[in-house]
Amino acid sequence: AQRVTQPEKLLSVFKGAPVELKCNYSYSGSPELFWYVQYSRQRLQLLLRHISRESIKGFTADLNKGETSFHLKKPFAQEEDSAMYYCALSMNTGFQKLVFGTGTRLLVSP
């Protein structure tokens, strides 16, 4: 079965520290991976997707098929990065169904 695992419920760091939010997936096919973010009192929104290979707000994520991981990284955390982050997997099923992890709350302290 398809599954996304985010092992940390909460990640607390100081401003300027590096951040790595972990995501592992299980899927036998060719996955498409996403990171969605929810800032306080805002709706869930797309942060980045592995296909685009972009850096958004200083965040990057590399798909590692060997380790079935898609960890989200940022070298220097900012207070405005505090939010709930969800890793999600999309399968090539003919329709778009996202399988979400349980989320990691990132708290960046001054």
Using the rule CB under 8 A, which residue among 4, 33, 72, 108 binds other proteins? Answer: 4
Q: How far is the CB of 55 from other proteins (least distance, A)?
A: 17
The side-by-side arrangement of strands in the sheet containing 72-74 is 19-21, 72-74, 60-61
The stretch near other proteins (CB under 8 A) out of 17-25, 65-73, 75-83, 101-109 is 101-109
Per CB under 8 A, does 86 bind other proteins? yes
Q: Where are the beta strands (DSSP E) in 1-110?
A: 3-5, 10-14, 19-21, 24-26, 32-38, 45-49, 60-61, 72-74, 83-90, 98-100, 104-109
The site string for other proteins over 11-40 (x = CB under 8 A, - otherwise) reads ---------------------x--------
Q: How far is the CB of 108 from other proteins (least distance, A)?
A: 21
Per CB under 8 A, does 88 bind other proteins? yes
Report the distance separating Cα 110 and Cα 108, nearest Å. 7
